[in-house]
Amino acid sequence: MSEDVDMIDVNSSTTKENHPPTHSKESDATSKTTTVTKHTPWLEKYRPTKLDDIVGNEEAVSRLAHFARQGNLPNIIISGPPGCGKTTSVLCLARQMLGESFREAVLEMNASNDRGIDVVRTKIKMFAQSKVSLPKGRHKIIILDEADSMTEGAQQALRRTMELYSKTTRFALACNASDKIIEPIQSRCAMLRYSKLNDEQLLKRLIEIAKAEQVSYTSEGLEAIIFTAQGDMRQAINNLQSTVFGFGHVNSENVFKVCDEPHPILIRDMIGKCLKCELDEAYKAMNHLWRLGYTAEDILSVIMRVTKTYEMSEFMQLEFIREIGLTYMRVSQGVQSQLQLSSLLARLCQKAKTNAH
Ligand SMILES: Nc1ncnc2c1ncn2[C@@H]1O[C@H](COP(=O)(O)OP(=O)(O)OP(=O)(O)O)[C@@H](O)[C@H]1O
Ligand SMILES: [Mg+2]
């Protein structure tokens, strides 16, 4: 192995590096030690290991911290959009509550495991029945990550299991769509809702990582990453790493090359042209993007995000957003043609013109 490789013992509490946690008994054999190399994904390298380090969703995280301090965890469901820290929070909570016993007392199952009704009947039940000596008042924790992909039958089978073993075992579910969790399970759990992270929260974390990795960056570069990530921390960190590995320097040009989105500056220009009723010029800009190979959805999603922050009268902004939304609907129904985008530009010019009079 080369010199940029450090071997880290994940059991050692003295290690300062953040590292991927090992959670299930199954993974024990393969992950006694985790190798952090120059090429370890930053997502894993900078995955928070303590609840305090989790960015955003302060209220929900403080409730989790409260459970951890008290030692009494109810069954919980954490729901929210991708990449906002749900899995990370559950793992931090389990680690904080169980400390040394984390390995024996936690069963983690995610969508990569088979989680049909049989697994609930056998594996989950067996784990719930197994004896693990824990400090007084602590419980074993079963983490069901991506729980919205569990079949309904499996969820039904879980109902009674949750109650029968509630003296010794608690369940922590994480999911994107809480409505895919059947009502009876929801009623047995405390629900915590996570939301997307805001720009400041993303920026703060990106700067921390960029400093730790000695990345050369410009503030426009980080802004571009935040623009493309849309509140998803996973995507933000991934895009930062991809840009650094691809180009060595994070500026807005490089970020948009890596993320392969239409550059917002071009889109801004195009909207500016519509506001001045210059349809021909606006069409040229759109045609240019189309020939670069972007789909109607790619272009529309950037048009929408740019319009939301474009300085124009509120009335006009609302009119524009409505037209963009309508076009988005048609495109998502399958009409992916350039004609749709041209018609959008024509309607935007028309709005600008009627409003000017
Ligand atoms: N709130 C956060 N604070 C710090 N890092 C975060 C946060 N959210 C996500 N991350 C980073 O993104 C990575 C993925 O986060 P995580 O697995 O917790 O997302 P998730 O909410 O479970 O998403 P999914 O719904 O796709 O499962 C983590 O490894 C971490 O590096
Ligand atoms: Mg997750």
- Tell me the sheet residues that pair with 33: 9
Mean pLDDT to the nearest integer, 38-53: 87
| pLDDT per residue as tens digits for the range 149-161 | 888 888 888 888 8
Token readout for 349 is: 């010019």
What pLDDT is stored for residue 36 in this prediction?
Answer: 64
Within 221-320, strands assigned E span 249-250
As a whole number, the mean pLDDT across the chain is 85
CA nearest to 20, candidates 34, 8, 5: 34
What pLDDT is stored for residue 1 in this prediction?
Answer: 36
| pLDDT per residue as tens digits for the range 323-342 | 999 999 999 998 889 999 99
Which residues surround ligand 1 with Cβ inside 6 Å? Answer: 43-44, 46-48, 54-56, 82-88, 174, 176, 205, 233-234, 237
Neighbours of 230 (CB within 10 A): 16
Mean pLDDT to the nearest integer, 146-174: 88
Give 235 Cα–ligand 1 centroid separation in angstroms: 9
pTM reported for the whole predicted model: 0.81
Q: Which of 18, 53, 76, 87 is the pocket-test mutation for ligand 1 (most atoms within 8 Å of CB)?
A: 87
Mean pLDDT to the nearest integer, 335-355: 92
d(CA 170, CA 164): 11
What pLDDT is stored for residue 330 in this prediction?
Answer: 94
What pLDDT is stored for residue 35 in this prediction?
Answer: 61
Give 155 Cα–ligand 2 centroid separation in angstroms: 18
pLDDT category at 357 given cuts 50, 70, 90 is: low
What pLDDT is stored for residue 30 in this prediction?
Answer: 31
d(CA 101, CA 276): 66
36-45, 232-241, 308-317: least confidently modelled range: 36-45
List, in order of start, the domains of the chain with CATH numbers: 42-193 (3.40.50.300), 199-259 (1.10.8.60), 268-355 (1.20.272.10)
Within the chain, strands assigned E span 6-9, 33-36, 76-79, 106-109, 140-144, 169-175, 190-193, 216-217, 249-250
